[in-house]
Amino acid sequence: MIGYGLDTSMLSRVEIENLPAHELEILLEYGQDLLSPSELLGVQLFIQRIGGLQNARQAIDMLKQLEQCD
C-alpha cells in the first residue's frame, strides 16, 4: 500500500479495469508518484478507452437522429 489506501504493487489490466472511479481519479492525479510508467500508461489507456466508447456512442446516436430526419 502506498498512500491513499491503494495497493499499487504491479497492477494488471484486469485490476485496473476493476478499480472504483475514485481510485482511478487518484491514480490519474498522483500516478506518476505511485505507479511504474507502464502501470500509469495502463490506467491512462483504460480511461481513454472509456472516453472513446462514450464519444462513439454519442456519435452513433447523433447519426441515428440525422437518419431519422431524412
Q: What is the pLDDT of residues 7-40, one digit of tens each?
A: 556 788 889 999 999 999 999 899 999 999 999 9
Percent of the chain with pLDDT over 70: 86
User: How is residue 45 written as a grid cell?
Assistant: 489507456
pLDDT, mean over the chain: 84
User: How is residue 14 written as a grid cell?
Assistant: 484486469
Quote the CA–CA distance of 48 and 4 in Å, as a whole number. 23
CA neighbours within 13 Å on the CB side: how many for 35? 25
